[in-house]
Every structure is written in structure tokens, then in C-alpha cells.
Amino acid sequence: MSAEIVTTIAHLRELVAAARRQGRSVACVPTMGALHAGHGALIDGARAAADVVVVTIFVNPIQFDRPDDYRLYARQLDADREFCARRGVDLIFAPSAAEMYPQPTVTFVEALELERHLCGAGRPGHFRGVATVVAKLFHIVQPDTAWFGEKDAQQLAIVRQMVRDLNFPVEIVSVATVREPDGLALSSRNQRLAPAERRAAPILFRALTEGQRLIAGGERQAPAVKAAMLRILEREPAARVEYLEVVDARMQPVDRIPADVRLAAAVWFGSTRLIDNLLCRIDAE
Amino acid sequence: MSAEIVTTIAHLRELVAAARRQGRSVACVPTMGALHAGHGALIDGARAAADVVVVTIFVNPIQFDRPDDYRLYARQLDADREFCARRGVDLIFAPSAAEMYPQPTVTFVEALELERHLCGAGRPGHFRGVATVVAKLFHIVQPDTAWFGEKDAQQLAIVRQMVRDLNFPVEIVSVATVREPDGLALSSRNQRLAPAERRAAPILFRALTEGQRLIAGGERQAPAVKAAMLRILEREPAARVEYLEVVDARMQPVDRIPADVRLAAAVWFGSTRLIDNLLCRIDAE
């Protein structure tokens, strides 16, 4: 089997159970499709770690706060299948919304504290939708490991917290953000940038890099770091900042920087919202 | 192995995994201990259905809304172990609160709509605590089937909804309420009733039975059914009604009775709160 597309939960379970009976290990890479080299890094990691690699492709309606974002989200299953086949993926689980939500779900998984800030503040219900669909996918695929990108740092923190708090029998593995040569983090949403917006977008990474440089140089006041990053972003008229924060491992904004922090930002370029983040290690000074 | 007590998640997982490798099926009976014949019926069902029966005994702090109820909840592990051994239980999972919640959980499972009424209205956070601990136990034990009593009808409805919505790979099996000869539903909380309260308590079942009789006789107006049940309960000065409802399968109160409904009540006797319910089938007329 090579990048076989499976659309029903029952069929996917059957194939995974058969692999399990042969003693094969299973890795899951949950995605919303429109696969790029960032997903490729997740798949490569999963491929090296497990006997069976399952990529899930599902644009999850309940995590979108804006209908147009859901509607416009890139869908390209044929290209995604080729992408997966080249990388040795065994199974692509690509269910319909009706297969995943035959009735509107009334059960939700929430990591309350971690949802409060950053993307959670601007996208109400987003992380509840993410945690809920990840729980569903874990129950459907029942993988040994699941692979997530560090670009979505808050999502990663919430999934880790959910697995720990609810004792999911799955190990979460994270993979470093993959970037364009100019620093722009790979994202399916980059496709939507107009040429001028695409040229402007690397300013986000440059601002984060400047914040990281200041902290590495000894700056310990978050407001000073944020102000410096903001000055860089304000130089770019195409960029509109949604948030810019210095947060701890639990995604809570900090004022002083006593230990490792993450610089996290969401910036709009036209009608496209991009996020990015950088970890700043204090013990690495 | 016979009614072996296991206190850590890691050890329980090891034992279940070993059974799985031998191709043995696993049934889980989640309880808070203080086992009685109601639990016995769950265990007997599980014993007949599966190769390995795991009874979990955990007085779950996050589902108690009143500290004294948590403190006073009967704990009797030695007696429970004997009870389980006599019924052929293989494993008793009896973790400490620290083993289950090494950190306060920030992740919760909620079946929002189903929590709104009945016990959910009077016990804020109760069903969120139940759904969350059941999710944890399912992830720890990973059973094929899990057994719940119909006495806790709202809990059962929420667990079923959670399993359906989140695609848990487990089958929920429910077992009819076991009653004393005078109709009182078995409950660990019955132990707390003073003798006079114990004599008064069967009034709850008598009121439900009267409601069931009226519906079987053609009454289709919920307010009339509730008024008749209330008249019976008001005859007993020791009984204080918390709620008395006619609900549909989703635990939503109804006014008209067009199809199967459940009569559900919570009644206090002194400082002890008892619940009970009866299903009324309309198609059985």
C-alpha cells in the first residue's frame, strides 16, 4: 500500500488494526492538506520512526472562526497524494465533514488556560475545535506517535497538555519550523498572498529574530522586546499586527523573562493572517 | 490473577498490554468503590462478555461540587476487593488522586448541551469532571467495552454522547438499575441515610412509578405527570425535591410526551441526595 486514500473511519480502523496484528507501529501526521515542505519534515520524521505512516487530511470546520477562511482554505487532494506517495506515506485518511461530524458534535475538549491568549484570544473557539478534532483523530487512528510542527506553537502546547491531562496513549513529537530562504515560515496560507504581500511577509520573521537577539544579549523586560519587534513591523505598511507576545511554556504572557520564553506573533498581510514564533533559550547564553 | 489491586497507570497499562498480546478482550467497569449489587450486575455483565475484567475504583475529586460530599464518600477498598474477587474480577485499578492528577488538569471534556439540566443544573462542573475522568480511564485501560448503570442516566447519556462525538474505540454497555425489595435504587450514598430517612427513601421510586403509570395510561402532558409525582413526594416530610423532570433521550426537559421519555428526579433525605429515574416507552402501549 502506498499513499492509499481512505475516506471512512471504519475502513481506516480496519487497515490500522490489520497492521497492528502484524506487530507494526503506527505514526500519525494530522494535517489540513495543501501539503508543503513543512509537512514534509513531519512525514519524514514519522517515516523514519514507524512502520506505518498515516497522514490525515481534513479541513476541520469546527476550528474555523471565519467562514471565508474555511471556504478559501486550499484543497488539493491529488497534489497531496502525489506528495505523500513520494515520501512513502502508507495511508491518507481524508474523510468528508459528514463522516467526521454525522451530527453536530456537542462534546468538546478544552485546554482552558492555554487557550486564553495569542490565537485563542483572536479566534474564539479555534483551539476547542483543534483539541476536539485531534482527540477524534487519535481515537480513530490510535497511533503510537503523532507529529506536529512547531510553527503552530500554541496548538502544539495544547495538544501536549491534552495528551498529558487525559492520558492519551500516544507520544507527541514536534518538528522545527521549515522556512523559505528569506525566513518566511512555510504555511498553506502563503499561497493566498499577493506578490507584494509575499515580498512584505518576511518582516514577521525579521521582527522575531530581532527580539531573540535582544534576549540573547541580556534584555529581560518583555515590554522592551515587544517594542523593538513592533518598531520593525511598523516599518512595513502592508503588515497589520494582531498580537505580538512573549510567553512561557504554558503560553501565558510574561513581563519579566526569567527562563525560556517564546516570541509569538500573528500578523495580517492584506486578508491573509500569518503566525510565527521563535523559542529563546535563556540557559543557552 | 484474581482481583489484583494495581495503583499506578504504568503498571495497569503493562498488565493490559500483556493480556492484549495474548489476544484477550478487555472490559472496564468504572466505579467510585463502595461496591454494591448494582456494581455487581455491571461486573457480572462484563465477566460474561470479556476475557479480562478491570474494575476501576477512584473517588474522582473533580466531579464533586461539595467538599463534604467528597470527604464523606464511602471508601472501603478491602471490602471492595473481596467483592471483586468473589465475582471473578481480574484487575482492580485503584489509583491515588496524585496518580490521576499529578498536576491540576487544565484539559476538560464537556458534553455541553447534555450537562445543562437535571444534575448538571444543581451540581456545576459535575459532569465535566465525570466526562474528563472517564476519558482518562478509557485512555489508561483501553477496554473493548465499558459498563455503566442506568441509575445514573444523565451520566450514561453523556458518556455515550462523548464516545460517539469523539470516536472513542470503546463500546458502552448499560445495565438496568438494581433495587431493594422496597424499590429504593442501590447507591453507595444509601449507607449515609439515618434509619428514618432510609424508611422514607422509597417514596422516590413510588413517585416515579406513578408517573410511569400515568404515561402508560395515555397522559401526554409533562406538567400533569410532574404534578402527580410531586403530590406523592410532598406526602413525605423527610423528602426535599431538588428536581423532577420529564426528559427526552438527550436529557432535555419536554412539555409534551410524543415518544419515549425518562422520568428523572433528585431528592434529598436529610443531608443525603439520592437520584433515580425510570424509562417510559410510548411504543410499548
The predicted-structure confidence for B247-262, as pLDDT tens digits, reads as follows 999 899 999 998 999 9
Number of independent structural domains in chain A: 2
Contact between B106 and A111 using a beta-carbon 8 Å cutoff? yes
d(CA B12, CA B20): 12
For the annotated catalytic residues of B, the residue numbers are: 39
| B134 & B252 share domain | no
* Residue in B107, B111, B169 closest to A139 by CB: B169
**Which residues from B are below 8 Å from A9, CB to CB?**
167
The CA-to-CA distance between both ends of chain A, in Å, stands at 48
Helix, strand, coil: what percent of chain B each, to 5? Answer: 45, 25, 35
**Which residues from A are below 8 Å from B103, CB to CB?**
164-165
| A151 & A68 share domain | yes
Alpha-helical (H) ranges within chain B are 9-21, 37-49, 67-72, 77-86, 97-100, 112-115, 119-122, 126-141, 153-166, 195-200, 203-216, 222-234
Q: Is the pLDDT confidence value at B13 over 70?
A: yes
A183 part of a folded domain: no
| B121 & B68 share domain | yes
Dihedral in degrees, nearest 10, Cα atoms B191, B192, B197, B201: -50
| A162 & A265 share domain | no
- B132–chain A nearest CA distance, Å: 7
d(CA B226, CA B229): 5
| A60 & A147 share domain | yes
CATH number for the domain including B212? 3.30.1300.10
> Among residues B147, B163, B2, B9, which one has the least CA distance to residue B84?
B2
| A265 & A200 share domain | yes
A181 part of a folded domain: no
B285 part of a folded domain: no
- Residue range A157-180, pLDDT digits in tens: 999 999 999 999 999 999 999 999
| A113 & A243 share domain | no
**Which residues from B are below 8 Å from A131, CB to CB?**
107
Domain that holds residue B241: 188-279
| B86 & B217 share domain | no
Q: Which of B148, B175, B202 is the last residue of a domain?
A: B175
What is the Cα A3 distance to its own chain's centre?
22
Q: What pairs with residue B263 in β-bridges? A: B246, B278
| A96 & A206 share domain | no
Low-confidence stretches of chain A (pLDDT beneath 70): 1, 284-285
SS3 B100: helix
- Residue range B129-171, pLDDT digits in tens: 999 999 999 999 999 999 999 999 999 999 999 999 999 999 9
CATH number for the domain including A42? 3.40.50.620
Q: Give the number of other Cβ atoms within 10 Å of residue A275's Cβ.
A: 21
Query: Which pTM does this prediction carry?
Result: 0.96
Query: Best residue in A115, A138, A166 to probe B by mutation, most B CBs within 10 Å?
Result: A166
* Residue in A106, A111, A142 closest to B107 by CB: A111
Give the pLDDT score at A229: 98
| A216 & A108 share domain | no
| B217 & B90 share domain | no
Q: For residue B125, how many C-alpha atoms fall within 13 Å in the half-sphere facing its CB?
A: 7
B242 part of a folded domain: yes
What's phi and psi for A183, nearest 5 deg?
100, -15
Query: Best residue in B166, B168, B170, B250 to probe A by mutation, most A CBs within 10 Å?
Result: B166
B230 part of a folded domain: yes
| A237 & A265 share domain | yes
User: Residue range B202-209: average pLDDT?
Assistant: 98
Contact between B107 and A110 using a beta-carbon 8 Å cutoff? yes
d(CA B141, CA B146): 10
